[in-house]
Amino acid sequence: MDKYTLIPLLPLAAFCINILFGRFLIKDRAHWIAISAVLGSFIIAVMTFGEVAQGKTVNQDVYSWIVSGNFKVTIGFLIDQLTAIMLIVVTSVSLLVHIYSVGYMHGDPGYYRFFSYLSLFTFSMLMLVMGNNLLQLYFGWEAVGLCSYFLIGFWYEKKSASDAGKKAFIVNRFGDFGFGIGVMMIFLFLGSVHYADIFGTVGTLQGQTIQMFGYNVDLITLIALLLFCGAVGKSAQIPLHVWLPDAMEGPTPVSALIHAATMVTAGVFMVARFNPLFSLSPIAMNVVAITGAVTSLFAATIALVQNDIKRIVAYSTVSQLGYMFLACGVGAYGAGVFHLYTHAYFKALLFLGAGSVMHAMAGELDIQKMGGLKKYMPVTYWTFLIASLSIAGVPGLAGFFSKDEILWMAYNGGTVGRIVWAMGTVVAALTAFYSFRIIFLAFHGKFRGTHEQEHHLHESPKSMTIPLMILAIGAIAAGWVGIPELLGSNIGVGNWVAHFFEPVLGHPEVHGTHEEEWMVIGISIAAAFGGIFFAWVFYALKPEIPRTLAATFKGIYTTLWNKYYIDELYDFIIVRPTKWAATNVLMAVTDGGIIEGIVNGVPKAIGNFGERLRKLQSGHLQHYAVSMAIGLFVIMTLVLIASAGK
């Protein structure tokens, strides 16, 4: 076994040990096993990254998984630049979240169970990013979904938590429906599901069409869009975004790891991985870009009015994921993955900060009931502020560089690119606004909660604050590997990350001038500071403004507050009719009426079946069984004799 296999295997081993022995033997020592495993994975991941940075890539099989005729799939690893960066993101955030959870989950009766699931998740996510074929990606894809289901519903006694877990799984299945068909199409037309084979032969599909509902549909576009369905589900894009906000029912470290930094970015990873396919279909690319941009804007507007701190951050995640798709859609896969990487740190930090606040507030989530937390929990405040500055796109921090890269690439991306650039810029302003709305409402001003809560306010323990501080460093510095040439050339730094990704993700051609690039940067900086400024005016300077606005634009406000009524719509057009049909059509009419009617009706008409049934029910069951058997035998014998006599 080589060291690459150990990367996913260590967390798997930790899962097996904790789930089997956690309940009776290990109990509250479960974190030792889980943390050492993920630490091991992290160290190997760093070593692997070092090798890849020097130009080494690995593509090897571990064992043959499924062989059926010409359908052959292995479990195997492809480690290239894209995988290497994902390995770093997954293992580092996972490690920090593991450590943070020691404090956060302390004393929970399901302590060992929590760490088992975290290990299982880490294993699954690593299998997803390391796979060298589409089916292993699918394995990881579903397995991370399962862990998400387990962890969202971790406190399963609560109906809302178990509902949210179930919803996440089922909504994702809608996306996987398309994804699965995409996988089958790829096998059908290319004869393999291994990346190397797919990308080697995908060009042969160019220009091929397939008949669908009487139309000729471009094959590559169709396959790309089917795969994208899966990404839409996993990465919570419109119209399958509805599960992610509800997923906040899970423990907060889970939200940070799974629903911000890693699992939800699997969709972006997949699109980036399949860039040779997507790039061949301009239509699919535009769909990706527009879906991303619309989702980004849509989610940002909802985040403006919500009061639940975790839900705001969740909508912010949906919005930022949209940003990553926007980048992929204009061909800037590298910029998208760069944003994935910086986002992992500042968004995990926002969630863990929110968790720290909840910890102090005895589970309170409503930012209207907070205020003035700055003086009680300084570490949480400063780290949360850094994360907010980073996501808002304040120059010098991680979020600025990746967001700027995306906007600049979008600006250069033709008509669609220009449109999504404009949308992205608006989103940037909104993002700064809602992020600082949290800062001003929760951390500044006066405390608005109960006296009891105020009495208990405290900074979180070291196991929680240290991960916050480490993530804060990431939220500041993670972007420094991708300083644009325009800014970097003055201080002698190149855009290292763009060159790093180039072999796998390519680099789109840029036609814009330096002046235009300065303009794009200027506008994005103005948007960031504008958003922060308005948040300050609204929530620190003149707190009556938001109330007046909400009252004036009541229709818009209630629509946003109710998240555009999408949940209600789905309930009305999908959930209810299906359940209704199950009970009132299938059970009552077809099964109960028609089929049973014929089944019971025919014998009834012939020989008064009901009467006999009643007699049978009076007893002597064996007697009748034996007579049936004898009757059967007699019939058989008679027929045989008759036929033998011919």
Partner 1 sequence: MSYPILSTVIFLPIVGALLIFLMSRSNEALIKWTALLLSVLTFFLSVPLFLDFDKTTANMQFTESYQWIPSWGIKYALGVDGISVLFVLLSTLLTILCVTVSWNSIKDRTKEFYAALLLTEGAMIGVFCSLDLFLFYIFWEAMLIPMFLLIGVWGGPNRVYAAIKFFLFTLVGSVLMLVGIIVLYLNTGRSFDILQMMNTTYPFNLQLILFWAFFAAFAVKVPMFPVHTWLPDAHTEAPTAGSVILAGILIKMGAYGFLRFSMPILPEATRAMSPVMMILSVIAIIYGAVICLGQTDLKRLIAYSSVSHMGFVTLGIFALNTQGIQGGILQMINHGIVTGGLFLCVGIIYDRTHTRKIADYGGTATVLPIYAALFMVFTLASIGLPGTNGFIGEFLILLGGFTASKPMGVLASTGIIIGAAYMLWLYQRVFFMEVNPKVQGHPDVNFREILTVVPLVLLVLYVGFYPNTLLSFMDASVQNLINRVSTAGQPQQVAQQIIEVIK
Residue type present at position 71: F
The answer to whether 324 and 270 have CB atoms below 8 angstroms apart is: no
Q: How far, in Å, CA of 236 to CA of 265, rounded? A: 9
Which residues, including other chains, have CB under 8 Å from residue 353's CB and lie 6 or more apart?
380, 383, 384, 387, 468
Residue type present at position 208: Q
CB of 136 to partner 1, least distance (A): 9
CB of 38 to partner 1, least distance (A): 20
Q: Does 70 bind partner 1 (CB under 8 A)?
A: yes
CB of 390 to partner 1, least distance (A): 36
CB of 594 to partner 1, least distance (A): 8
Q: Does 177 bind partner 1 (CB under 8 A)?
A: yes
Among 166, 369, 374, 507, binds partner 1 (CB under 8 A): 166
Q: Does 139 bind partner 1 (CB under 8 A)?
A: yes
* Structure tokens, 22: 């956690």
CB of 124 to partner 1, least distance (A): 9
- Which residue is associated with the tokens 């292995």? 74
Q: Does 146 bind partner 1 (CB under 8 A)?
A: yes
Stretch that binds partner 1, among 134-142, 402-410, 453-461, 511-519 (CB under 8 A): 134-142
* Structure tokens, 166: 């179930």
Closest CA to 306 of 438, 122, 488, 119: 438
CB of 130 to partner 1, least distance (A): 15
Q: Does 1 bind partner 1 (CB under 8 A)?
A: no
Q: Is the CB of 205 or the CB of 504 nearer to partner 1?
A: 205
Write a three-state SS string for 591-605.
HHHHHHHHHHHHHHH
- Enumerate residues 12-31 that contact partner 1 by CB under 8 A: 19, 23
What x/- string results for residues 90 through 129 when contact with partner 1 is judged by CB under 8 A? ----------------------------------------
Among 1, 491, 605, 644, binds partner 1 (CB under 8 A): 644
* Structure tokens, 584: 């009132």
CB of 174 to partner 1, least distance (A): 6
CB of 573 to partner 1, least distance (A): 15
Q: Does 196 bind partner 1 (CB under 8 A)?
A: no
Which residues, including other chains, have CB under 8 Å from residue 157's CB and lie 6 or more apart?
none
Among 54, 68, 415, 490, binds partner 1 (CB under 8 A): 68
Which residues, including other chains, have CB under 8 Å from residue 407's CB and lie 6 or more apart?
421, 424, 425, 428, 520, 524
The answer to whether 347 and 261 have CB atoms below 8 angstroms apart is: yes
- Exposed, middle or buried by CB within 10 Å (0-12, 13-18, 19+), for 304? middle
Which residues, including other chains, have CB under 8 Å from residue 420's CB and lie 6 or more apart?
289, 290, 292, 293, 326, 329, 330, 410, 413
Q: Is the CB of 19 or the CB of 271 nearer to partner 1?
A: 19
Q: Does 153 bind partner 1 (CB under 8 A)?
A: yes
Stretch that binds partner 1, among 276-284, 462-470, 531-539, 634-642 (CB under 8 A): 634-642
Q: Does 169 bind partner 1 (CB under 8 A)?
A: yes
Q: Is the CB of 573 or the CB of 587 nearer to partner 1?
A: 587
The answer to whether 70 and 191 have CB atoms below 8 angstroms apart is: yes
CB of 383 to partner 1, least distance (A): 35
Q: Is the CB of 266 or the CB of 423 nearer to partner 1?
A: 266
The answer to whether 559 and 461 have CB atoms below 8 angstroms apart is: no
CB atoms within 10 A of CB 617: 8
- Enumerate residues 573-632 that contact partner 1 by CB under 8 A: 578-579, 581-583, 586-587, 590-591, 595-596, 599, 603, 613, 616-617, 621-622, 625-626, 628-629, 632
CB of 200 to partner 1, least distance (A): 21
- Exposed, middle or buried by CB within 10 Å (0-12, 13-18, 19+), for 258? buried
- Enumerate residues 539-568 that contact partner 1 by CB under 8 A: none
Q: Is the CB of 67 or the CB of 556 nearer to partner 1?
A: 67
SS3 content of the chain, % helix, strand, coil (to 5): 80, 5, 15
The answer to whether 266 and 333 have CB atoms below 8 angstroms apart is: no
Q: How far, in Å, CA of 46 to CA of 483, rounded? A: 22
CB of 29 to partner 1, least distance (A): 19
Residue type present at position 282: P
Q: How far, in Å, CA of 131 to CA of 4, rounded? A: 11
What number of chain residues touch partner 1 (CB under 8 A)? Answer: 66
Footprint of partner 1 (CB under 8 A): 19, 23, 64-71, 135, 138-139, 142-143, 146, 149, 153, 156-159, 162-163, 166, 169-170, 173-174, 176-177, 180-181, 184, 187-188, 578-579, 581-583, 586-587, 590-591, 595-596, 599, 603, 613, 616-617, 621-622, 625-626, 628-629, 632, 635-636, 639-640, 643-644, 646
